[in-house]
Amino acid sequence: MWEDLKYLTGFGNEFASEDPRCPASLPVGQNSPQVCPYGLYAEQLSGSAFTAPRETNRRSWLYRICPSVLHRPFERIDSTHLTVDFSAHPPNPNQMRWKPFDIPTDGQVDFVQGLRTLCGAGQPATRHGLAVHIYTCNVSMENKSMQNSDGDFLIVPQQGTLRIKTEFGRLVVAPNEICVIQQGIRFSIDVEGPSRGYILEVYDTHFQLPNLGPIGANGLANPRDFKSPSAWFEDLDVEHTVINKYGGRLFKAVQVHSPFNVVAWHGNYAPYKYNLADFMVINSVEFDHCDPSIFTVLTCPSVRPGVAIADFVIFPPRWSVTEHTFRPPYYHRNCMSEFMGLIHGKYEAKEEGFLPGGATLHSIMTPHGPDAACFEGASTAELKPVRVADGTQSFMFESSLMMAVTEWAEETCSKLDKAYYECWQPLKKHFRIAEP
């Protein structure tokens, strides 16, 4: 079922797809005929306002066995560990590092049940802001799906491959790949065992590729490497629960058919995946350390030019060749919030303590940079061409907003490393005034 999936390639393209079991299931020449082929229902899914400019207008037409409106009323369910109230817990400007988050070993926990909010800013009710979540789970979602009415999910698996059913088709997303499931799209996640990962959620608009400026037409994440699912359906008459994340709370509705009953679809609003190994790295070849913006995969822009609600940035394997330069990341205070995670390997600026499945948060204007061991080593290293980050993949969620941590992140999870600040304490004073 999951082998040899066929994908549609390209970022933000206009796609048209039919399940091969039902040829000619897409209407010809119009979106909503009086009678659709095969007796299907036509349903539009809008990811932008009807009158949004053409270049940002996102919508798809779905041709499905039963319309999504066929369900019982939504009922509120427990969502203790999810929140959009980022003022509920006192702010904390300290550097924060979390040890790897525990994957459940007692009982069965699926993707929805294993969601935890770490930090964020803003509100989905005003369509402005973002949130960072962790997921940890050990079983698949059985006759259950989820839709996020609040915003888009960018999912970063760290352990365990995800097999994702969506209304548009199926995706297989392994560690070192990412996927984006946009607002309103229903999905279900199957896992093969203990699984863990990170989620960046944005409320404002959708992710897009960053502008390349003088880099030119090619580079960074190339559009051709993004993959969307091709149409696939299941016609199951079973009791199915739809979980709706709405206003930061969870609700459930029961229906008696699978939501993955879309036989054909066309449009430019569809989930997608991307392999981080396909990223074309740009780097300095003469001197100094480039700003990390050169590693941006996707961005969710704000209304201010060049300022992002959220950037997804990676630090992939690459060559380091600069001369008379301190090569690791520089010491920094930033007008942006920086949340980092580690998929595998060791991060060059902090090889100890920052572990796969863990995280760090350096808030707005909070100092950060290489630990003492990294500084001393890089200050005396022979400056020859070397490979950096082989066997490693770290990433950053960066935001112009001041992200606040949740009570679960700072206290309940018991993973906050309160000794994190100690990695900088051995830094020595090297200043000296030369004698005349």
Give catalytic status of residue 240 as yes or no: no
Is 430 an active-site residue?
A: no
The whole-angstrom separation of Cα 171 and Cα 5 is 8
Is 14 designated active site?
no
Residue 128 annotated as catalytic: no
Catalytic residue among 89, 128, 234, 332: 332
Is 362 tagged catalytic?
A: yes
Candidate list 338, 348, 398, 410, residue with the active-site label: 338
Tokens of 315: 């630090």
Q: Cβ contacts of residue 248 below 8 Å, gap of 6+?
A: 79, 82, 83, 84, 85, 124, 150
Q: Do 266 and 14 contact (CB within 8 A), yes or no?
A: yes
Which of 167, 266, 362, 398 is catalytic? The answer is 362
CA 72, 142, 107, 418 dihedral sign is: negative
Which position among 234, 289, 344, 376 bears the catalytic label? 289
Residue of 229, 250, 225 whose CA lies nearest to 164? 229
- Given the residues 177, 368, 398, 410, the one annotated as active site: 368
User: CA–CA separation, 418 vs 373, rounded Å?
Assistant: 19
The residues annotated as belonging to the active site are 289, 332, 338, 362, 368
